[in-house]
Structures are given as structure tokens and as C-alpha cells.
Amino acid sequence: MPELPEVEVTRRGIAPHLEGRQLRGAVVREGRLRWPVPADLDARVRGLTVSSVTRRGKYLVLDLARGGRPAAALLIHLGMSGSLRVVPRETPLHRHDHLDLLLADGGVLRLRDPRRFGAVLWTEEEPAAHPRLADLGPEPLGPELTGDYLYARSRGRTATVKAFLMDASVVVGVGNIYASEALFRAGIHPGRAAGRIGRERYRRLAEAVRAVLEAAIAAGGTTLRDFTDSAGAPGYFRQQLAVYGHEGAPCPGCGHPLRRSVIAQRSSFYCGRCQT
């Protein structure tokens, strides 16, 4: 489900409920996520304080401290269908509510993930050094994502520019929806070989990625099916999607019917006339 905007919207929603709060424990109802959730998570988190809630790519990072000193961190990935909400303790359980973090003030951070492609990882090392984070590319909203960077990284690559853009070791956070949207804004055909696109077009693409992600965050993310923010509200960027899911509709730029085809093993939407 969630790409960078949805994870960032989630982060902003849960952070005020978590930062500076102590954890009373955890309840793991279904630990079989992408990787097993530690069975003794309850004992591990008890008494720790959440010092910060940050994001790296599509991972949320909960830094945990004991007595003001960093003690551990939880890495949370929402996979395809995950969502996090802060709810009162007595909130009835849904079938796929796999894990609760119990806050000392009585609230609960509740993870729901029907498909169980998400992850909850415990680490006592520096989070950035964790194997899941160590090899990630730059943040798309930071200064490192430039056209020159994309141009340099793409030299010699024969895979499609869409696959290149969705490669987290190149740049994090861009999934199937926003790849289609950014390529449309940049006027680049998703099936073009990444290594055969020039510097000037990569400059446009870097700006398009930044612009579409920022706009999506501002709209609260994209809800296709089951994404909700931490208060249970859907995101409204779906209404601003130019091409994703709009096969056959007129291109917003030229009116030509939008096309769908499978590129990089995923549905891709584009205008065959505007995007070259």
C-alpha cells in the first residue's frame, strides 16, 4: 500500500502520540510478518521511552531510550497493506490487527496488515547501520536527489527507467503509483531504457519526483483501498492522480487515451503521445 507519502503521513500522525512517551509493553497476536516479530517484544520494550519517530525511505524508525540513553530501535515497514493507528485501549480488534504497542498513558499504537508483507524489526545497533537500511539510496525530498545524480547512476543500465526509479538503492520511497505519476510529469516513457535518457530529462524527472511526493503528502497520501492515516482517515491524493488507474481516460495534457501496460512486472500508466 504505502509509498513514501503514505508513510510520512503516518509518521506525522503517530509521532505526537509517541514521542516522549513511555511504553508499558507490547502485544503480538500474529508475529508471522515478512520476518518473525520477536516473541518477547513485550519484555523488550517495557519501560523504554520513545525518543523520536523518524522515517527512512518507507521504513518508520522508533528510537527507544532508557534513562535518556539510546537503548534500541524498532523499524516498522507497512508492506503492501499495512497501517498504523493510535487508538484507545478498549478499541475492538480487527481480524488483521497483529500487534499493539502499549503506551503508558493508556493509548495503543496498533498495526493492521492483512497481507503480512510488512515488518517489525528490533535492533540495538545504530538504525542506519541495520542491513535493511544500510544500502538504501538517498531521500527524494532531500538535496541529494538531483538530475545529475540520476544521470550518473543510470549509465549503462538497460532496465526500464520505471524499474530504475523504483529501485530503493537508487532512490527510496518511489513505488508503483508515484513512479507512473512522476514519469508522466517529466514526459518520459516508463519503458525507456534508463541508460538511454539524457541529463536534462533526468533533471526534469528529479523535479517531478519531488513535486509529486510533496503534493501527495500535502493531500494526506493516496488511498486506493485500505490506506488510512493514524486517525483512520483516508488520503485524498487519489483525486489528483494524473495517470495511475486511468487507463483509457483522456491524457490531461493532450487528450490522447492513456495506456496501461505491464512494465517492471507492475501495471504502468502513461500517455503514449506525451511520454517519449
Options 39, 134, 152, 224; binder of DNA; rule CB under 7 A: 224
Options 44, 55, 56, 58; binder of DNA; rule CB under 7 A: 58
What interhelical angle do 4-18 and 199-218 show, nearest 10? 40
Q: How far is the CB of 106 from DNA (least distance, A)?
A: 29
- Binding status of residue 175 toward DNA by CB under 7 A: yes
Instruction: Please identify, using beta-carbon distances, which residue of 38 and 195 lies nearer to DNA.
Output: 195
Instruction: Please identify, using beta-carbon distances, which residue of 73 and 102 lies nearer to DNA.
Output: 73
- Among the listed residues 238, 248, 254, the one whose alpha carbon sits nearest the alpha carbon of residue 269: 248
List the grid coordinates of 206: 528529479
Distance CA 144, CA 250 (A): 35
Size of site (CB under 7 A) for DNA? 44
- Binding status of residue 226 toward DNA by CB under 7 A: yes
Q: How far is the CB of 60 from DNA (least distance, A)?
A: 11
Instruction: Please identify, using beta-carbon distances, which residue of 23 and 164 lies nearer to DNA.
Output: 164
- Among the listed residues 78, 79, 45, the one whose alpha carbon sits nearest the alpha carbon of residue 63: 45
- Binding status of residue 12 toward DNA by CB under 7 A: no
Neighbours of 52 (CB within 10 A): 15
Q: How far is the CB of 199 from DNA (least distance, A)?
A: 17
- Binding status of residue 217 toward DNA by CB under 7 A: no
Residue type, 23: L
Options 107, 147, 190, 235; binder of DNA; rule CB under 7 A: 235
Instruction: Please identify, using beta-carbon distances, which residue of 24 and 246 lies nearer to DNA.
Output: 246
- Binding status of residue 130 toward DNA by CB under 7 A: no
Beta-carbon contacts of residue 64 (< 8 Å; ≥ 6 apart) = 23, 45, 48, 49, 50, 51, 70, 71, 72, 73, 74
- Binding status of residue 46 toward DNA by CB under 7 A: no
Options 129, 225, 239, 248; binder of DNA; rule CB under 7 A: 225
Instruction: Please identify, using beta-carbon distances, which residue of 68 and 131 lies nearer to DNA.
Output: 131
CA 107 to chain centre: 24
**Largest interatomic CA distance in the chain:** 62
Cβ–Cβ < 8 Å for 96, 113: yes
**H/E element holding 150?**
helix 147-154
- Binding status of residue 140 toward DNA by CB under 7 A: no
Options 164, 184, 202, 270; binder of DNA; rule CB under 7 A: 164
- Binding status of residue 116 toward DNA by CB under 7 A: yes
Q: How far is the CB of 201 from DNA (least distance, A)?
A: 17
Beta-carbon contacts of residue 193 (< 8 Å; ≥ 6 apart) = 157, 158, 159, 160, 161
List the grid coordinates of 100: 499493539
In the complex, the residues that contact DNA under the rule CB under 7 A are 1-3, 6, 34, 57-58, 77, 79-81, 95-96, 114-117, 132, 156-160, 163-164, 166, 168, 175-177, 194-195, 221-227, 235, 264-267
